[in-house]
Structure 1
């Protein structure tokens, strides 16, 4: 049992990756749409490239969206409007008219006119309430059929134009008075009816909508059927008109039928295999070409998390409305990976993610083509993410590529630009704006996963930062040395294509441990007093060696990233504090080298190896007396060759050719620092 536990502990990293691999596969497959995939790809207006296609089963030919929308519009145009009537209003108004009429029209009016006026008033009431008076000014077509309901029972049918709007009451009064030659009483009549008339019709929206929906439900979405074994399309035949609609119907029917039958488990298994293959390719890529990333479980988790996040967001958008699919900023993925790793890994992971998304999105070929091209443009254009102008320019280029590619695809499919959906271009612009969110996202990822981007490195390289200010105050000589090393290391990194920003930051902080005992290091001894004179060689060596440990402690206390701390740990490798070792050896025959050796580890990357070379060369260059080009060349060669002989670079992925290039840079830089001139003959 103990052996099993030890074995599991030794292989915990691989076990974790396996669990992460399986978990990611499960989640991605779970997010996939629950449908099969039609095995044929086809496009409208293009020839059928596969063999002759026969109907595999009976299926209905669906109407096009245009046909269905046309039917719905026709039903909407001819839909009946329902109004509720309050029958008591007419009686109430008639009774009120009889009462008020006697008060307004006195006996001084001729009896004939009085009777005529009274009868005309009753006639006006009957005309106003024949169908009813509307309570609002509804904007319906005059030719719309109206059903009037009294307590939910149909009472009358008419056209909407026959219903009286409140602003038409005066016109009805005017018409009736004119017919009876009683216009001289118009003012009194209008005043009377203004107080009496009440609306009695209100629009019944719920009933109208319910009846309309019932009519929609009667729509037949199929316009025929295809029998099994019927030839649908022949090889080379152009896909257009009915042929295209039949193929679309078969595709829809096939996908729903396949998933709902007994093949469910097989399709699920097939999806799992494809997703596993895609993610396995990513893991194999990391293991072969990015072993440092593969060995770091946090970084592998970060990569898988981002891929899963993109699949999740895309699934949400597709389930909501697939027309918004291009709003999802997929190009954030290569930007993030390039910021934390490199362009090659960013592009590879982006392609894998787009291939997975092909199972989710409609028009998968078009989508994958657009996203892969956009990803390539992202990788090629964004060179320095920490420069805001570069990001804005790149986002503009990405958006332009989206628009051009979509326009080309649309013309290929439709053969015209007249029906192009211009709103899609707005989605691309929104996608570009969403891509700008990469800056705060990188900051969030740095805090969550403990990673370091160029943006953070730029902030750390500021010599006005708290820690570097403290270094310059406590150890001015060390600070000046660190600046010189940073310049040498940055130039060397640029020469061989290493991460210049990272190595500059590493160089600025590599000696911060000297702040603990600054006067024990020669560059800070301004008074001419050397405290080592009062110590034994072993004690002096310990103080010198401890600046590495002290530096790590200070760095962790100030929350410096691990990638920067690596430079502090490795900048002396396992080398000897040679001066005190030699001094001790002069006094004793047997000397333990471990007491005079740095704890290591040795440099394990190009950047840490470069820093070790530059640090040693810059520090030792202070001892050169009357430097010449010849002396500097020999001096650089001796120091770096000695480090090679000691095996300090065995763990770093740096070649002899690159070391030669670094030597050349250091020689040139030192020559400039010491202002060497050509030696003229005497």
Structure 2
């Protein structure tokens, strides 16, 4: 890379690598580097690792699931287990055995009333009629089942088998007692028999025998008085009582099928172990690995392409945001390099914390100091970029800490990261001392804790220990963020020459050795510097420049005057002006030297470069008019004209808005101070005159101040000066002051 020569303030040439800080190629390389950082950070979460493994071989490593898929084997086992837990289904049938009682008593009346039949004939008829009545009643039941539940042959066969196997056989001696029953006996017996049968058949009877054993007790407690009637009713009731609860295989199969269908699929979740190290890979394991594209024989490049496109979108969005920024990072590659480094450190911190999730600490992601990056960006670069980075860090966190589920993002970590990052930006935006970072960290902890509690309650699946653990991690995250930001701030400030607001506030402390030296040895210059700081800060803020930098830079801009304080008009209190006794050329050298001396003193005390630049550039290449014209006046007749360049400051001209504004405020303060009783018109005329002279002299050619901004600066300086000199202002009717400019030229 080419070297550019530059003449320093002491006249010696210096060399520096030229162009890289604004090189478009370097800029593109930095953005590409940032994209690679994103890709590397997300690759292990998005792109599945593939393995060279075969069925029957032992795995040399533990293989985890990369996405959520259904476990077919596990699902089938769960279905079979659900079906196994289903109890057999029984059908409770309405047997209508009361009608069987009616039919039996009807036959008893009919046969006993037939006087042509002998007792022996009646007994024979009863032996054949009772089974027939039972069979007819059963056949009616079978027909009802065929109609109500067609195709359920299983139930029908169960009923047939049960009725056949459990049919009660009336003792032989009872048949000989049937013919002796009178009509009155039958009329008394029938309601008792019906009542007993009805009461027994109201129960669920898979087996009729237990119910039949209870009949004797019920008969004995009935209204029947004859022993014969009781014995016969007891036998008839036992004969009529049948089972009414039958196994229904068809309904059982349907219930088990419903249980299988209602079983939720068993999933292999992302992060679950598919194969443990040392396990022999079975065919089922091999199929699962193949389904998840974890085998090298089936390489899938689409995830790589998708991740590359996503990272490109991240970088493109950041590039467009930086391009539209009004901060120096828009064109300054050094600041862009710092931004990339902040991203790298933040992502590294997130990844390091993410390692804890592999050790079964799922909630450890809440400990990640995600807000560290946004806080550093807010302090060192600017608020707008910090807000944009907050959204990007939230997306990264939702991917990096997503360890379960089939989704690419875990919204819990994304939401938490967004909340803490945004909170850190709002909390740090007015930071003016190191303790402000601690306060911002506490705000981050509180905001994160509230978010975690909210998410935990919404999830509705939590334990007290889980809440306390998540809460503790989140609070610790805010404190860890504070420690890291405070620790990294000096590194960035020194390495990249960044003057953060916190550093500027520290440098503005009156106890700083240089400011104490300025106050004790040159009180006039100290007062002048404070006044310039007030004026330049107001002017800078009116045009969007760094007001705090202007104030602090003003405090140090004339520090070189402490080398020879008596040669500057503001320090000549109660003493003569030594310039009256020396040649103008020597006076010029002494006056010009204060800029060079100031830069050297600032270097010795490790004052950051932006402030050194202000001390070096605030006079630019302006002409020391007083001594130039004094030299011309003393010049002998006929001598060669004195070149103006010999009485100009060596520069360089102001390279920034802040340096130019301080130069204007420096000249304006000295000029207005030289007026005995300044009026409003005199102040306005003096301010605009100084700005115009510097503009015509080309002092603003190397900074980006516009004419509109110069007009705004003039108005702001007028307002500030009116506030400072209000007690000494003469109104238009008063006489103008005399002797303007002499002291100003010597400052």
Q: In structure 2, what is the Cα distance between the partners aligned to 1:241 and 1:285?
A: 51
Residue 623 in structure 1 maps to residue 633 in structure 2: no
Pick from 287, 310, 316 the counterpart of residue 352 of structure 2: 316
> Unaligned stretches of 5+ in structure 2?
4-15, 49-66, 79-261, 275-287, 403-408, 735-747
Q: Show the 5 A alignment for 1:193-592.
A: 242=264, 245=267, 257-258=292-293, 260-261=295-296, 262-263=298-299, 267-290=303-326, 292-321=328-357, 322-362=362-402, 363-387=409-433, 390-410=436-456, 413-414=459-460, 421-437=467-483, 438-526=485-573, 528-586=575-633, 587=635, 590-592=641-643
1:648 aligns with 699
Q: In structure 2, what is the Cα distance between the partners aligned to 1:604 and 1:260?
A: 60
Residue 604 in structure 1 maps to residue 655 in structure 2: yes
CA RMSD in angstroms comes to 4.0
Residue 34 in structure 1 maps to residue 81 in structure 2: no
Q: Given the two structures, how large is their TM-score scaled by the length of structure 1?
A: 0.62
Greater displacement, 351-360 / 468-477: 351-360
2:664 aligns with 613
Q: Given the two structures, how large is their TM-score scaled by the length of structure 2?
A: 0.57
Greater displacement, 511-520 / 522-531: 522-531
Q: In structure 2, what is the Cα distance between the partners aligned to 1:630 and 1:334?
A: 48
Tell me the CA shift for residue 504 of structure 1.
Answer: 1.4
Total equivalences in the alignment:
488
Q: In structure 2, what is the Cα distance between the partners aligned to 1:57 and 1:494?
A: 56
Tell me the CA shift for residue 31 of structure 1.
Answer: 4.0
2:224 aligns with none
Tell me the CA shift for residue 611 of structure 1.
Answer: 1.1
**Does the aligned pair in 2 maintain the 1:36–1:256 contact within 8 Å?**
no
Q: In structure 2, what is the Cα distance between the partners aligned to 1:255 and 1:419?
A: 39
Shift in CA distance, 405/241, structure 1 to aligned 2, threshold 3 Å: farther
**Does the aligned pair in 2 maintain the 1:629–1:676 contact within 8 Å?**
no
Tell me the CA shift for residue 536 of structure 1.
Answer: 3.9
Tell me the CA shift for residue 25 of structure 1.
Answer: 4.1
**Does the aligned pair in 2 maintain the 1:571–1:608 contact within 8 Å?**
yes
Shift in CA distance, 382/12, structure 1 to aligned 2, threshold 3 Å: closer
Tell me the CA shift for residue 33 of structure 1.
Answer: 4.5
> Unaligned stretches of 5+ in structure 1?
39-55, 68-239
Shift in CA distance, 61/540, structure 1 to aligned 2, threshold 3 Å: farther
Tell me the CA shift for residue 640 of structure 1.
Answer: 2.0
Tell me the CA shift for residue 557 of structure 1.
Answer: 1.3
3-state SS of paired residue (1:329): coil
Q: In structure 2, what is the Cα distance between the partners aligned to 1:640 and 1:249?
A: 68
Q: In structure 1, what is the Cα distance between the partners aligned to 2:625 and 2:73?
A: 86
Tell me the CA shift for residue 307 of structure 1.
Answer: 0.8
Shift in CA distance, 616/331, structure 1 to aligned 2, threshold 3 Å: same
Structure number, greater radius of gyration: 2
Q: In structure 2, what is the Cα distance between the partners aligned to 1:516 and 1:17?
A: 43
Tell me the CA shift for residue 2 of structure 1.
Answer: 10
Q: In structure 1, what is the Cα distance between the partners aligned to 2:521 and 2:541?
A: 31
3-state SS of paired residue (2:71): strand
**Does the aligned pair in 2 maintain the 1:60–1:249 contact within 8 Å?**
no
Tell me the CA shift for residue 539 of structure 1.
Answer: 3.6
Tell me the CA shift for residue 523 of structure 1.
Answer: 1.8
**Does the aligned pair in 2 maintain the 1:461–1:508 contact within 8 Å?**
yes
Shift in CA distance, 483/585, structure 1 to aligned 2, threshold 3 Å: same
**Does the aligned pair in 2 maintain the 1:492–1:662 contact within 8 Å?**
yes
3-state SS of paired residue (2:529): helix
Shift in CA distance, 599/260, structure 1 to aligned 2, threshold 3 Å: farther
**Does the aligned pair in 2 maintain the 1:513–1:550 contact within 8 Å?**
yes
3-state SS of paired residue (1:436): helix
